[in-house]
């Protein structure tokens, strides 16, 4: 096999995406700035998008100056050394508190997937300043589908869209980018029945490919700022599908570390 035949992918940003604000058409903006940069979206490209720009476009911001914290929020805030108004917003976005330690609240969120995550995804970074916090999109799969349709109409090709957030992981240090919304791609690849190198038949192996692609995109997008909130991954032969990113959430009854 020569070098040109070796498997490879490209990962690159759509540059100069402006600050997205409530009411903006995120899909239209992505198309516009891709064209401005001379980027032609191709068949089976994967568009990976940081959720913050989608949340802002959808008005998923809370002005802390409008929040009155409960006594419970004040108690937790004293223990965690946090703004009690921020805690109140977290509590409003949580179904239950799973763990609380060293200023971190691990909660089961009210998102459709019930993600178990720090602070229910409520974050001050990449909001509109210190008086605001940003929430997750209300329905990330729906948001991904809307943007995917716009890109496909504009460029006349079929693509996949992944919306991401940064999660910590049980029993592992360091946060990584993961998928919270998908459209046009199977978020999990099931390798059950596939034979390995030595002829062993895999029985239960599943790969969270949407999470792997989200983490790959973060190598370019970074965490410190929003310079590159939109990333294109080209060359990966993904499995097309209509499944939801909800598949990536392990059911409570199967979760050994709940």
The verdict on pTM exceeding 0.95 is no
End-to-end Cα, the chain, rounded Å:
47
Q: What is the pLDDT of residue 258?
A: 63
Query: Which two tokens mark 155?
Result: 């460029």
Q: State the virtual CA torsion across 37, 41, 42, 47 in degrees, nearest 10.
A: 120
Tokens of 179: 């998928």
Domain positions in the chain: 11-58+137-250, 61-135
Place of tokens 């070796």: 6
84 Rama class: left (phi>0) / alpha (psi -120 to 50) / beta:
alpha
CATH fold, domain 61-135, is CofE-like fold (3.90.1660)
- The CA distance from 95 to 15, in Å, is 37
Written as tens digits, the pLDDT of the chain (258 aa) is 555 678 899 999 999 999 999 999 999 999 999 999 999 999 999 999 999 999 999 999 999 999 999 999 999 998 888 899 999 999 999 998 888 887 788 998 888 778 888 888 898 877 777 899 999 999 999 999 999 999 999 999 999 999 999 988 887 888 899 999 999 999 998 876 676 667 766 666 788 999 999 999 999 987 545 579 999 999 999 999 999 999 898 877 777 776
Q: Which CATH superfamily is domain 11-58+137-250 in?
A: CofE-like (3.30.1330.100)
């Amino acid at each position: 096999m020569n070098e040109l035949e070796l498997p490879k992918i490209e990962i690159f940003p759509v540059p100069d995406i402006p600050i997205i604000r409530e009411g903006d058409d995120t899909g239209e903006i992505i198309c516009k700035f891709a064209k401005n940069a001379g980027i032609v979206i191709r068949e089976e490209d994967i568009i990976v998008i940081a959720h913050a720009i989608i949340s802002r476009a959808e008005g998923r911001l809370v002005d802390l100056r409008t929040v009155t914290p409960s006594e419970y929020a004040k108690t937790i805030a004293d223990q965690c050394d946090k703004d009690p108004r921020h805690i109140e917003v977290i509590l409003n976005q949580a179904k239950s508190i799973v763990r609380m330690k060293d200023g971190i609240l691990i909660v089961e969120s009210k998102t459709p997937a019930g993600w178990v995550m720090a602070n229910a995804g409520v974050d001050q970074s990449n909001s509109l300043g210190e008086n605001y916090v940003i929430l997750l999109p209300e329905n990330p799969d729906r948001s991904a589908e809307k943007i995917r349709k716009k890109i496909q109409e504009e460029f006349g090709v079929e693509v996949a869209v992944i919306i991401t957030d940064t999660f910590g992981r049980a029993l592992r240090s360091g946060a990584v980018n993961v998928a919270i919304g998908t459209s046009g791609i199977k978020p999990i690849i099931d390798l059950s029945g596939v034979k390995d190198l030595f002829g062993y038949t895999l029985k239960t192996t599943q790969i969270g490919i949407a999470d792997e692609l989200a983490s790959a995109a973060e190598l370019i997008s970074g965490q410190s700022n929003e310079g590159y909130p939109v990333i294109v991954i080209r060359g990966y032969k993904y499995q097309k599908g209509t499944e939801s990113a909800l598949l990536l959430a392990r059911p409570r009854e199967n979760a050994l570390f709940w």
